[in-house]
Structure 1
Amino acid sequence: MTKLTQHWQKRLEASPKPAYLLLADLIAEDIRTGRLSARDQLPTLRDLAAELRLNYTTVARGYAEARKRGLIDSRSGSGTFIRGVSPSLPLRGGGGAEMTMNLPPEPQDAALIERMSMSASRVMAEAGLYDLLRYQDFGGSTRDREAGMQWIRPRVPDCRLDQMLVCPGIHSVLTALFSQLARPGELICVEALTYPGVKAIATQLGIQLHALPLDEEGPMGESFEHACKTLKPKALYCNPTLNNPTTATISRARREALADIALRYAIPIIEDDAYALLPRQVPPAIATMAPELTYYITGFSKTLGAGLRNAYVRTPGARQSQRLAGALRATTVMASPITNALATLWVEDGTADAMLQAIRNESTVRQALAARHLGAHNVAAQSEGFHLWLPLTSAWSTVEFASYLRSQNVGVVASAAFSTDGSPPEAVRICLGGPMSREECDHALRLIADTLAHPRHPHATVM
């Protein structure tokens, strides 16, 4: 009998607690105190039962309870080992490491926060309060639309005032465009892995999504052209920069190919470029290659914060602006004049650019943490973005992996949420932003890395 099992036997004999529960407690206690370390091998069920003078079933239940708590890993033919698991994360408000919502990080820059607060106060002080509480024409005031053109000019330099709309968030624009361009039962081409909101919109409207397979450059042009010839799609939707979820950016050559096909078949393009301003270098927007067909959309949810529900749309022309404004007015009435005024001021006085730079910097730090912990696992990431795509090549299935992490208060999103072809890869999306601090992000990434290194028995993952 080892010193460890002697210690366990004394505690088991002195405690009225059920032996199987106490056995799991003892393993946890010895991990905390350092008696047991990651990868230490435990006795077999039969050997431990004999040493502790317990029946085999009791010891088996004790090990099962320890697996359930994430303390040990049993591998067929190899034995039972200490996992060295990081503790679960009790974060703000009793929540967990919420890595499911793709929110930008919140830079803790006191000067920048003060600047934003003062700007918000200026909006309320300088604008007529009742003006901000009244209905306004859809699409934003002239000043709001000029700010929108200023914000998108790095991506789409050629934009007239009659092509610009200020709208209440990208999602509402997508809903309006889908309803306008396709009728129930008709088809829109999308990437095989895409923004889940598009799937929800299509389901709500009864529109079919046709998945375009992806290669290292983006949606495959041959597949898009074949769909144009045979299926008569009503539009192409794409998320070309820092794709949600894969983080991939469509190459310039592929953008040109897709634009050429759309022009030849007169297929409208919906270019959802929510992440485009995060990378310092990115290929030209598709809207510059097929301006007469492309609805270029961006906003602030991924560059300032999801609560600033403002989106800018550069339409192909004045007539399309009027039609889209009508569709949006029918569903959303108008963008909030208060948020319009705030966004406009932040663009005009440089606050939006300062916040964008701060988010880039914070994302770079967090991506470095991710590379440190997950770099050996072939993650796809972009240094100035705040999400990553993690392929699973271990014993975990995607659902088991996401479910187990959820039991440890770390939320990630399984690939099925993004799949439009019914064949999702074994992968998860992990978000590094939102209200998590750097320390909490680091802790969660270490837990994820440890889970990959020491997979639990698959039948113990879903609780």
Structure 2
Amino acid sequence: MDKTAQHWLKRIRASNKPAYLLIADLIAEDVRSGRLSPRDRLPALRDLADALELNYTTVARGYAEARKRGLIDARAGMGSFVRGSTPGLALRGGSAAEMTMNLPPEPQDPALLAHLRDSAAEVMAQSDWNDLLRYQDFGGSREDRAAGVHWLRQRLPLCAAERVLVCPGIHSALTALVSLLARPGETICVESLTYPGIKAIATQLGVQLHALPLDDDGPSAEAFEQACRTLKPRALYCNPTLLNPTTGTVTRARREALVDVALRYAIPIIEDDAYAMLPREVPPPLATLAPALTYYIGGLSKCFGAGLRTAYVHAPGPRQAERLAGALRATTVMCSPVTSALATRWITDGTADTMLDAIRSESAARQAIAARLLGRHRLRAQPESFHLWLPLDGETSIVEFASGLRARGAAVVASAAFSTDGLPPDAVRVCLGGPSSRADCEMALGLIADALEHPLRPHVGVM
């Protein structure tokens, strides 16, 4: 990388921009130009600091900024590597011991499962298959949008059909919204720990994420206002209820403070409320506090089943709904009419509410097991959530803990996957819905408890 380092040194000397930001910019430029390729190894921090005539801390901040933008990955003991423009994704099949994918637990209720089978068969038998196999207007049929209104009105009493779009999952709605609201190089504000999907979407679209510090009340309104003054962000993304990963819920006062800033600076809000149906009591959505600015997203994957890829977006107005429909059509063409038909049937006949109650009950049972086995380890959890946040003691490497746990037969997600500020805390997210039964869940949680009590030391020699 000698020639590259010489090029970087010239650019840094000629620029007034902070060197750590310029390092991240230069990595992005070299990836786009082909001077750097995916999986290229970057120089060690001290080597690059010497080559660029900078101190170690500045280069470390530069690499942290590049990681925050999704440009590079760091691997313990191996260094930093270029990710490239499209993040790699390891393919895997479902596993009963898997606790990395945040999906709702499967209720073990034979009567409910039989009802799902019977009602799905009725939908298929009663449908016009020629109609289901045609292209359809984006945003959903009149019946599908009416079902979406019915579902969202549990949180948005003034939800209006002309502002609702049916989408093939929340992730697709987020992709369309980010592409609609921000261009490559522009900025969106997010929590400092947030849904990994928004990081992947931003990386894919070339959008920058600006991290807002989190406290017990939610993302900092003061930091959001400072960002509005200095960075002119294109939107605020927020996962305000049972935040993935920490399970935190933004308080009403903090929601009002964030909305006040958004209103004063006219910043659109993307409210990803995927988990809002799970708790019995939740503060009002940001969409009720700033209806003219907020795109509110709710769906079924987190309160019915991960395979039911149906979501609903309530736009700030009919015109914004039309523009979003265009972005959705460009990225996903349309919702599957077959999936929408099932979702509409289960919402209108009350099956979705029954399933939601069953998932709440199963989640509470699994959280009780987690509290019994892990309660002494300062975990953050909520009774009706199916994930929890487990801080580590700081003495154990997160990488070693996760790899040691995987060697025992369980898997969790380290905090770096959720970090947008390059400073992940010592913690992991544990998903309780992956194991297919409570017994499997208890076994996996027991493995985690054992790993905390007796950590593996893979680098210690055998004597």
- For normalisation by structure 2, the TM-score amounts to 0.78
Is the partner of 1:331 in helix, strand or coil? Answer: helix
Q: Which amino acid aligns with 2:109?
A: D
Match of 1:437 in 2: 437
Match of 1:265 in 2: 265
Is the partner of 2:459 in helix, strand or coil? Answer: helix
Shift of 1:394: 5.6
Q: 1:423 to 1:299 in 2, by over 3 A?
A: same
Shift of 1:101: 0.2
Larger Rg: 1
Match of 1:280 in 2: 280
Shift of 1:435: 4.5
Q: Which amino acid aligns with 1:129?
A: W
CA separation in 2, counterparts of 1:188 and 1:460? 44
Give deviations 1:325-351, integer Å, cap 9, x for gaps: 001001111000011110000000000
CA separation in 2, counterparts of 1:441 and 1:460? 30
Q: Which amino acid aligns with 1:453?
A: E
Match of 1:76 in 2: none
Q: Is residue 2:187 matched to residue 1:208?
A: no
Match of 1:308 in 2: 308
Q: Is residue 2:334 matched to residue 1:326?
A: no
RMSD in angstroms over aligned alpha carbons?
Answer: 1.3
Contact 2:97–2:434 under 8 Å retained in 1: no
Alignment of 1:18-57 (within 5 A): none
Match of 1:385 in 2: 385
Shift of 1:456: 2.8
Is the partner of 2:193 in helix, strand or coil? Answer: coil
Q: Which amino acid aligns with 2:162?
A: D
Contact 2:400–2:457 under 8 Å retained in 1: no
Q: State, as a whole percentage, how many aligned pairs show the same letter.
A: 70
Shift of 1:457: 2.6
Is the partner of 1:354 in helix, strand or coil? Answer: helix
Shift of 1:105: 0.2
Contact 1:95–1:409 under 8 Å retained in 2: no
Q: Which amino acid aligns with 1:244?
A: N
Match of 2:359 in 1: 359
- For normalisation by structure 1, the TM-score amounts to 0.78
Give deviations 1:42-96, integer Å, cap 9, x for gaps: xxxxxxxxxxxxxxxxxxxxxxxxxxxxxxxxxxxxxxxxxxxxxxxxxxx9955
Contact 1:304–1:352 under 8 Å retained in 2: yes
Match of 2:368 in 1: 368
CA separation in 2, counterparts of 1:457 and 1:315? 51
Match of 1:31 in 2: none
Match of 2:131 in 1: 131
Q: Is residue 2:403 matched to residue 1:420?
A: no
Q: 1:238 to 1:385 in 2, by over 3 A?
A: same
Is the partner of 2:210 in helix, strand or coil? Answer: strand
Match of 1:298 in 2: 298
Q: 1:143 to 1:460 in 2, by over 3 A?
A: farther
CA separation in 2, counterparts of 1:266 and 1:189? 14
Alignment of 1:127-166 (within 5 A): 127-166=127-166
Contact 2:132–2:338 under 8 Å retained in 1: yes
Is the partner of 2:343 in helix, strand or coil? Answer: helix
CA separation in 2, counterparts of 1:171 and 1:413? 19
Match of 2:344 in 1: 344
CA separation in 2, counterparts of 1:151 and 1:313? 11
Shift of 1:434: 2.9
In structure 1, list runs of 5 or more residues that go unmatched: 1-92
Q: Is residue 2:289 matched to residue 1:289?
A: yes
Q: 1:142 to 1:392 in 2, by over 3 A?
A: same
Q: 1:149 to 1:392 in 2, by over 3 A?
A: same
Aligned length in residues: 369
Contact 2:95–2:434 under 8 Å retained in 1: no
CA separation in 2, counterparts of 1:360 and 1:94? 22
Give deviations 1:88-115, integer Å, cap 9, x for gaps: xxxxx99551000001000110010011
Q: 1:460 to 1:417 in 2, by over 3 A?
A: farther
Match of 2:235 in 1: 235
Give deviations 1:404-447, integer Å, cap 9, x for gaps: 11111201000000000000000000000035210011011111
Q: Which moved more, 1:395-404 or 1:365-374?
A: 395-404
Match of 1:253 in 2: 253
CA separation in 2, counterparts of 1:318 and 1:94? 40
Match of 1:187 in 2: 187
